[in-house]
Structure 1
Amino acid sequence: MLMMNEEFLKACRKEENSFVPVWYMRQAGRSQPEYRKLKEKYSLFDITHRPELCAQVTKLPVDQHGVDAAILYKDIMSPVPALGVNVEIKTGIGPVIDAPVRTMEDVEKLGTIEPQKDVPYVLETIQLLRQQLEVPLITFAGAPFTIASYMIEGGPSRDYHHTKAFMYSDPEAWFLLMDKLGDMSIAYAKAQIASGAQAFQIFDSWVGALNAEDFRHYIKPVMNRIFSELRTEGVPLILYGTGARHLLQDWNDLPIDVIGLDWRTSPREAREMGVTKALQGNLDPSILLAPWKVIEEKAKQILDEGMEEPGFIFNVGKGIFPQVQVETLQRLTAFIHDYSSEKLG
């Protein structure tokens, strides 16, 4: 094994850091010229099915930006075909499902995942990366609500009308779906951790579309079950979603280590709301197109608030998008390391 930079893992555990660790959601991908060149030849699923190529894409931002963690390159929908659901990732759209899940019968037909058989390429990529990386490897899964929203809507949605209607009108089918997706998340996560993942993040990207009462009734039980099952695996557990400020106290109740914030809630605000977990976030990625002086000012503010307590990881509040320059991320990473090490030193 290579010498490990453990600052990210220390922050997850709320231990003292010598500097604030940083990684960026979607750091592997669209903003990298090398990746765009690969995409001329390979689809996302093509890349993820080739472990050596997928490891190369995952590792590229670590080498290029100097970040303190790698996140496995794949899509949250990667395990869904194992359930018998046909998913296509369409450029410029996202996951598209030609036969949406809309009835109890549809839910009952869903299969189960056997990671070693259904996603061996994901596990092989993790094993390869553990031999190559000098920083911790984060892997991930989509949360049941977010995966369900794609399965029910048939693709991305702005309002989740079909998803909410299904949830409200057929709670028995809804809870069965949550159970099946919860089982998938647990099995998928455990296989990734057994293969060498050193932290695990659950993306509940769209759960902010629900109010807190509905989250507690329809979603929180399955999230509690997933994280309780994974608690024994011995790796830090992270939960992230967008527009979820109103759910932070409920998230703080879950057996997790880190809460990922979007740009709507600052680290200080989260702590004032009673959040006691380690925090990750929360630069608005749009700011990365602004002049450097603005980027530095915003990053400094986030760092100053984040460093008020141990347990802070710098990140963006949503994924990096294609127009962001590699040089900007390199400069930002260096600034985060330099500024925080001076303050913490």
Structure 2
Amino acid sequence: MLQNDLFLRALNGESVERPPVWMMRQAGRYLPEFRALRDKYDFFTRCRTPELASEITIQPIDIVGPDAAILFSDILVVPQAMNIEVEMKPGVGPWLPNPIRSAKDVEQVIVPDIHEELGYVLDAIKMTKERLNNRVPLIGFAGSPWTILCYAVQGQGSKSFDMAKGFCFSQPEAAHALLQKITDTTIAYLKEKVKAGVNAVQVFDSWGGMLSPTDYQEFSWKYINQIVEALAPLTKVIVFGKGCWFALNEMSKSKAAALGVDWTCSAQNARYLTGGNITLQGNFDPSRLLSPIPEIKKMVTQMINDFGKDKYVVNLGHGILPNIPVAHAKAFIDAVKEYKAK
């Protein structure tokens, strides 16, 4: 039995004494303990070594105390498993030396055996569950098919993902074939994560906001929804689309347990667009954690009042930045724990 099941109760839509809190990228670069490991081991070594992934996952639980852990990994382990080479270049970030640009390239992409190619992630989950010892739930995650396609086609991060969009618009058949392969792999991957012991999963659509509402339906949401449909009978699914406020109404009709909201969408608008009957997560601007601590605490209280304490998970509107002082991250978490409903 979980000692702290607040997060799962909020995803169930139950009434809670206060909302739960966790932070996207909470296992990461703002923690000195994480940086010490980063200096010793390269990025994918950390992802592929269950002992390291597990240690990194648990660091924030011990240091800042959120109500849920999220497994340390990366969305790009999925394309790696699909026969797409991915490197992490210092100063550049994700780097794919052979981007996908044609139908022939798409044919080379495989739907892998999850145990064979991503077994290290499943081992990390089991190890983390053991080390967490039922203190808090564990979240597993994957990137949305569209977001994975962005990297696979563009070959690196981008402000516009113009090549990825161009590929979809000029070669839609090849694009849909690739999106479907990513979707099938992601469904299999997340199902195995659930079997390995995660308590909920989140789909990150980091680049969904690059698409128009019409293109979003065609190239992103319909694939995310396949994932939601496949996973909802097995676990709670959170969908987070950065810049995708325009799709919140459509998303709220799905079987997702919760929807993430970024800082460009107010609590009032998010509740209005989703009809007020689905759990929402977010939407604190990560840069706001650079504010003075009393200001952070005041803003967190205001944010909870705006969303309401029920059907709400406190989080940032995107991942925590590397330059955030640990004391400020802790103040964010503590403000939620100290919250008293009016």
Could you tell me which residue of structure 2 aligns to residue 331 of structure 1?
331
- Aligned residue for 1:40, secondary structure, equals helix
CA contact (8 A) 1:72 1:138 kept: yes
The 5-angstrom pairing of residues 83-162 of structure 1 reads: 83-133=82-132, 134-162=135-163
- Is structure 2 residue 198 aligned with structure 1 residue 193? no
CA contact (8 A) 2:79 2:152 kept: no
Could you tell me which residue of structure 2 aligns to residue 294 of structure 1?
295
CA contact (8 A) 2:238 2:260 kept: yes
Could you tell me which residue of structure 1 aligns to residue 315 of structure 2?
315
Could you tell me which residue of structure 1 aligns to residue 16 of structure 2?
17
Could you tell me which residue of structure 2 aligns to residue 37 of structure 1?
36
- Aligned residue for 2:255, secondary structure, equals coil
Q: Which amino acid aligns with 1:319?
A: G
- Aligned residue for 2:252, secondary structure, equals helix
CA–CA separation in structure 2 for the residues paired with 1:125 and 1:307: 35
- Aligned residue for 2:239, secondary structure, equals strand
Percent identity reads 36
Q: How far 1:293 sits from its partner (Å)?
A: 2.8
CA–CA separation in structure 2 for the residues paired with 1:16 and 1:145: 34
The C-alpha deviation readout for 1:62-88, integer Å capped at 9, x for no partner, is 111111000000110012112111100
Q: Which amino acid aligns with 2:226?
A: R
CA–CA separation in structure 2 for the residues paired with 1:155 and 1:93: 8
CA contact (8 A) 1:211 1:246 kept: no
CA–CA separation in structure 2 for the residues paired with 1:254 and 1:107: 29
Could you tell me which residue of structure 2 aligns to residue 343 of structure 1?
341
Give the CA RMSD over aligned residues.
Answer: 1.3
Q: How far 1:266 sits from its partner (Å)?
A: 2.2
CA contact (8 A) 2:149 2:164 kept: yes
Could you tell me which residue of structure 2 aligns to residue 170 of structure 1?
171
CA–CA separation in structure 2 for the residues paired with 1:198 and 1:263: 26
The C-alpha deviation readout for 1:89-111, integer Å capped at 9, x for no partner, is 12332211001101011111111
Could you tell me which residue of structure 2 aligns to residue 264 of structure 1?
264
Q: How far 1:145 sits from its partner (Å)?
A: 0.3
- Aligned residue for 2:299, secondary structure, equals helix
Structure 1 residues 267 and 92, CA, compared in 2 at 3 Å: closer, same or farther?
farther
Q: How far 1:175 sits from its partner (Å)?
A: 1.0
Unpaired runs of at least 5, structure 1? none
Unpaired runs of at least 5, structure 2? none
Runs of 4+ in 1 over 6 A off after TM superposition: none
TM-score (norm 1): 0.95
CA contact (8 A) 2:297 2:331 kept: no
CA–CA separation in structure 2 for the residues paired with 1:321 and 1:223: 26
Q: Which amino acid aligns with 1:131?
A: E
Tell me which moved more, 172-181 or 85-94: 85-94
TM-score (norm 2): 0.96
Q: Which amino acid aligns with 1:216?
A: Q
Q: How far 1:261 sits from its partner (Å)?
A: 0.6
- Aligned residue for 1:319, secondary structure, equals coil
Total equivalences in the alignment: 339
